[in-house]
Amino acid sequence: MPVNLLAPDPASLHPVPGVRWGVTMAGVRKANRRDLSVIALDAGASVAGVFTQNRFCAAPVQLCREHLASGTEVRALLINTGNANAGTGADGLARARATCEALAGLMGLQAKQVLPFSTGVIMESLPVDRITAGLPAALAALDANAWGLAAEGIMTTDTIPKAASRQVQIAGKTVTVTGISKGAGMIRPNMATMLGFMATDAVIAPALLQSLVTQAADQSFNRITIDGDTSTNDSFVLIATQQAGHAAIESLDSADGQILREAVFAVARELAQAIVRDGEGATKFIAVKVSGGRDEAECKLAAYAIAHSPLVKTAFFASDPNLGRILAAVGYAGIADLDQALIDLHLDDVHVVHQGGRRAEYREEDGQRVMKQSEITVHVNLNRGPASTTVWTCDLSHDYVTINADYRS
């Protein structure tokens, strides 16, 4: 059961002029599920992306990087579930290339104008034939109003599709930002998550788009973790179709740039948090805030140590205020000269630890009350500097084990 997350109302997902989705069933791994999606872009769109830092990055990620680096205008994205095409060596690269060529052929494009994305089981051969056989149906289905279908079409172990949409006014024009994401396990993105697609019709200098997507990832997908396993296929793409009709944004710090940035961040954050809310087996949504660090890096070390600790995560699952486990995680986070005698710990509004020790006034009932909530903020103050950060995670339940022990069967 996802934590306070509902399937998006398709009517709430504003189409983005210049972007059409075609979603179909190709039987990549299982029959009768939407597993193949195509995004067709009007000419003139700009595309930027961030990709997994996993050294075992999947063949499609390698091709995305290659095609984006070529500087050729991207006109289509091709996404399959059911097979990650990772750990597949040179053969996997050739297979990914073959699917790009097939779609390019049908659309009258060059292969490098297609960006491929795959998600699913690692280390199995991509079924090129089934994918190419499904392409005509995907193209026939192209529709600007298919964001909801697309959110469903990229799911794997997700229990619920994830989408978000905003409209803002820029220089008197309505500008749309709409996105979808997927992911529920192998989630500890490091640059992006597997997978996020966002589009806007904003008019923005193409050179700014990479900066915007990187900043957005850093404020959203790079702040979440479910199991600490960085995927081989993480990809987060931002498309700007440039069709909204306002004067081009030439700086993200301009008034218009800030409006767009905030809208992009808001959608990205909602999509990223949706992944945590639908984390495999999740019963709780947990924000881990670490403040008082000397720099953000050490705040992140502590926040991720807490967010990855199986002991902390099982305590949340049990609603057990066994909060010493949080202190232990801070202690082994790798902050070499940390002084435990400075640490404060709050659980929502409950002040649990002061100067490294349990407060005399802390009552277990108060911790218990917060632990029973479905949304909880853990706040650790290192009290040694001005920096802070927040990451979002979920608990570790029996269902996580069940899902991952059964994933392939």
Among 98, 107, 123, 387, binds its own copies (CB under 8 A): 123
* Interaction of residue 366 with its own copies, rule CB under 8 A: no
Would the annotation count 389 as a binding residue? Answer: no
- Please name every residue paired with 49 in a beta bridge, in sequence order, or none if there are none: 237
Among 121, 137, 205, 259, binds its own copies (CB under 8 A): 121
In this structure, what DSSP letter does residue 371 have? H
Would the annotation count 225 as a binding residue? Answer: no
* Interaction of residue 219 with its own copies, rule CB under 8 A: no
Among 181, 309, 381, 389, binds its own copies (CB under 8 A): 309
| Least separation in angstroms between CB 340 and its own copies | 5
* Interaction of residue 158 with its own copies, rule CB under 8 A: no
- Please name every residue paired with 387 in a beta bridge, in sequence order, or none if there are none: 293
* Interaction of residue 338 with its own copies, rule CB under 8 A: yes
Among 36, 122, 135, 244, binds its own copies (CB under 8 A): 122
Would the annotation count 409 as a binding residue? Answer: yes
Among 3, 260, 335, 347, binds its own copies (CB under 8 A): 335
Q: Give the Cα separation of 370 and 359 in Å (integer).
A: 17
- CB under 8 A: which stretch of 162-170, 264-272, 329-337, 383-391 binds its own copies? 329-337
Q: Give the Cα separation of 168 and 184 in Å (integer).
A: 30
Give the Cα-Cα-Cα angle 214, 294, 223 (nearest 5 degrees): 30
DSSP-derived secondary structure for 159-212: SS-EEEEEEEEETTEEEEEEEEE--SSS---SSS-EEEEEEE---B-HHHHHHH
Residues 55-84 that bind its own copies (CB under 8 A): 55-57, 84
Among 110, 314, 388, 390, binds its own copies (CB under 8 A): 314
Among 140, 332, 372, 386, binds its own copies (CB under 8 A): 332
Long-range contacts of 6-14 (CB under 8 A, 24+ apart): 6/160, 7/160, 7/161, 8/148, 8/151, 8/161, 8/162, 8/163, 8/164, 10/145, 10/147, 10/148, 12/165, 13/147, 13/148, 13/151, 13/163, 13/165, 13/178, 14/165, 14/167, 14/176, 14/178
Residue 365: how many other CB atoms lie within 10 Å: 9
Would the annotation count 99 as a binding residue? Answer: no
Inter-residue contact 119 to 84 (CB < 8 Å): yes
Cβ closest to its own copies, residue 61 vs residue 103: 61
Q: Give the Cα separation of 111 and 105 in Å (integer).
A: 8
* Interaction of residue 6 with its own copies, rule CB under 8 A: no
* Interaction of residue 229 with its own copies, rule CB under 8 A: yes
First to last CA, the chain: 21
* Interaction of residue 323 with its own copies, rule CB under 8 A: yes
- Please name every residue paired with 389 in a beta bridge, in sequence order, or none if there are none: 290
Would the annotation count 404 as a binding residue? Answer: yes
Q: How many residues does the chain have?
A: 409
Inter-residue contact 144 to 107 (CB < 8 Å): no
| Least separation in angstroms between CB 200 and its own copies | 30
Tell me the catalytic residues.
Answer: 193
Cβ closest to its own copies, residue 198 vs residue 343: 343
* Interaction of residue 374 with its own copies, rule CB under 8 A: no
3-state DSSP call for residue 309? coil
Residues 289-308 that bind its own copies (CB under 8 A): 308
- CB under 8 A: which stretch of 34-42, 142-150, 167-175, 349-357 binds its own copies? 349-357
| Least separation in angstroms between CB 314 and its own copies | 4
Q: Give the Cα separation of 386 and 270 in Å (integer).
A: 27
Q: How far is Cα of residue 333 from the mean position of the Cα atoms in its chain?
A: 24
* Interaction of residue 236 with its own copies, rule CB under 8 A: no
* Amino acid (1-letter code) at residue 307: A
Among 4, 12, 145, 402, binds its own copies (CB under 8 A): 402
Would the annotation count 251 as a binding residue? Answer: no
- CB under 8 A: which stretch of 21-29, 110-118, 212-220, 310-318 binds its own copies? 310-318
Q: Residues binding its own copies: what is the number (CB under 8 A)?
A: 72
* Interaction of residue 368 with its own copies, rule CB under 8 A: no
* Interaction of residue 355 with its own copies, rule CB under 8 A: yes
Residue list for the binding site for substrate: 156, 182, 193, 280, 404, 409
Task: Output the known binding site.
Answer: 156, 182, 193, 280, 404, 409
